[in-house]
Amino acid sequence: MARTTQKVLVPIAEGFEEIEAVTIIDVLRRAELDVTVAGLGSAGPILGSRGIRVQPDLALDELDLAVFDVIVLPGGLGCTEALMGDERLLASLRAHHGAGKLTAAICAAPMVLAEAGVIDGVPVTSHPSVRGKLGKAEVRAAPRVIQSGNVMTSQGAGTAMEFALALVEELCGADKAGELATAMVVPEAVPSA
């Protein structure tokens, strides 16, 4: 049985996609995972792509990124571009991936994984608008959530709940994901990743 005390990092930067970030954070916390929301460059409120401000727990540069078991990147083009420019995060993603730890990204955020070089030859999905920007990844239009080894990707705001529940299934098991889906009145079972 999967342990439920894993440490999850969700880094955000200005222009993050609010539905994706908040859904991921909320669902993973409902699953009783230890989720840290880290602001790139600031521990102050971060402005999302639709004008909603979210208060991170800490600034990304205050954290030892090696302690996290999972890194989940929400999308939003502004956030994605900012994360792609953070060399410390890119190095951490490479080390994290090399250690076999789960790395996940939704919407435009698979571009960060491409920039870090961790999805070369890996089947992934993303928002349709960035599918041509994923380097040497094996880009697919379906399914809506893809898990390839220790990489999980999804397409966008409309797939955020599926993505979050797929993360719960991977980290905590199918029973926990089903329990949360039922409690949140999610209409379908968690899709196969």
As annotated, the active-site residues are: 107
Cα–Cα distances (Å) from 97 to 85, 90, 107, 176, in that order, read 18, 11, 19, 25
* Cβ neighbours of 66 (radius 10 Å): 10
Burial category of 188 from C-beta neighbours within 10 Å (exposed 0-12, middle 13-18, buried 19 and up):
exposed
Phi/psi at 10 (5° precision): -120, 95
Burial category of 3 from C-beta neighbours within 10 Å (exposed 0-12, middle 13-18, buried 19 and up):
exposed
Residue 63 near residue 36 (C-beta atoms within 8 A): yes
Q: What is the DSSP letter of 29?
A: H
In a 3-state reduction of DSSP, which class is residue 104?
strand
